[in-house]
Structure formats: C-alpha cells, structure tokens
Amino acid sequence: MPELLTIIEERTYLEINDASESVLLEIVTDADVEILEIAEQGPPGPPGTGTSGIEFEYLAGKPLGGQRAVILDTDGRLVYADHRTLTHRFRVLGITLHAALTDEPVLVRAAGVISEPSWTWTADLPIFVATDGQLTQVPPLFGFHRSVGVALTEAEILVRIELPILLAA
C-alpha cells in the first residue's frame, strides 16, 4: 500500500521520565509535507447501534435499581454512588439503565439521553448525585455535589457528568 503522506526534515525527541514509567514523545517541527495522492471518499459504513450516548456494561456488586448513579467498587463491580462518601466524588461512572441482581450485567449510561416515564424533573435544571445513587435536583448541603446531567423534559435527562464540588462540613 503506497504512503499517502511523507514527512521529511527535522525531528525533535523529548524524553519524559516518571517514577512509574518512561514516555517518549516525538515532536515534528518544520516538516515538509508532500501529497502523493488525493483519495476519494469511500462507501458509507454500516448503520449505528441506535444508542443515544456512551454506555458501559459491568457486573452489579449488589442488587441495583434502574436510573441510579453508580461507581465501581474495589472489585470492579457496580455499587451506588453517594454524596456523603467523599471517596466517591471522582468515581461516578454514570447512571444505570435497568435494575439488576448481584453479579448480573448492568448497562450504565455515561453520556447521552435517558428517558424514564415515571420521572418528574423540572426542565433545564441540573441533576445531582444524592444518597444511595438516587438522583435529585436539590443540591446536597454536605459531602460533595456532582451534577450528572440536566433535565431536558419532565421525563428525559441528558447525562453529562461534571466535576465534583467538595462542600464544607
């Protein structure tokens, strides 16, 4: 297969050493680029899966309800996120899409839209992690507060996990 892009000229190398690993970066500067051939767009790919966001699948570390904020425990299994537990503040993975028993697989939405007909959100307000994975539009007063999304409608949220804010005790 012929190369479509040839980069010649000066290359600068920078080595970064860390106690845990060594990384080699290559920085290309003042390079001459020669275009050998301009390719045409290929045929369209297969249709997508139809999901409206980023999803992960993990095993439940305990019985879990649907539409709850979760983290991974030390065994790599899902458990509820809780605003009272400060070690959870950076570990919120997403929101469960369905209920599951211990050791069953669970789909977790980390970004995108979730619809649930039983919800009664106020549109355009943020949604926060509360106790035991519950979701709320009332910001917690202690622990941490972490917005995991925003209500689009009464029954639909856009999952968009923001950085946590540590609250004074």
Angstrom distance (rounded) from CA 17 to CA 64: 43
Q: Is beta strand 69-72 parallel, antiparallel or unpaired with respect to 94-96?
A: antiparallel
Q: What are the extents of the domains in the chain? A: 5-35, 55-166
pLDDT at 109 over 80: yes
Angstrom distance (rounded) from CA 75 to CA 89: 18
pLDDT band at 26 (very low <50, low <70, confident <90, very high): low
Residue 114 belongs to what H/E stretch?
strand 105-115
Q: What is the pLDDT of residue 2?
A: 45
Mean pLDDT of the chain: 84
- Local structure of 42: helix, strand or coil: coil
Average pLDDT over residues 31-59: 75
Nearest residue to 109 (alpha-carbon basis) of 63, 53, 48, 61: 53
pLDDT band at 43 (very low <50, low <70, confident <90, very high): confident
Q: What is the pLDDT of residue 44?
A: 80
Share of the chain above pLDDT 90, in %: 66
pLDDT at 31 over 90: no
Q: What is the pLDDT of residue 168?
A: 75
| Fold topology of 55-166 | Virus Head Decoration Protein; Chain: A, (2.40.300)
Contacts of 68 (CB under 8 A, 6+ apart): 80, 81, 95, 96, 132, 133, 134, 135
Angstrom distance (rounded) from CA 157 to CA 147: 12
Separation in Å, CA 30 to CA 4, 10, 12: 19, 7, 10
Q: Six-digit token pair at 31?
A: 């390079």
pLDDT at 56 over 50: yes
User: pLDDT per residue over 113-137, tens digit each?
Assistant: 999 999 999 999 999 999 999 999 9
pLDDT at 38 over 60: yes
Average pLDDT over residues 98-121: 95
Q: Six-digit token pair at 148?
A: 């995991």
pTM for the complete prediction? Answer: 0.70
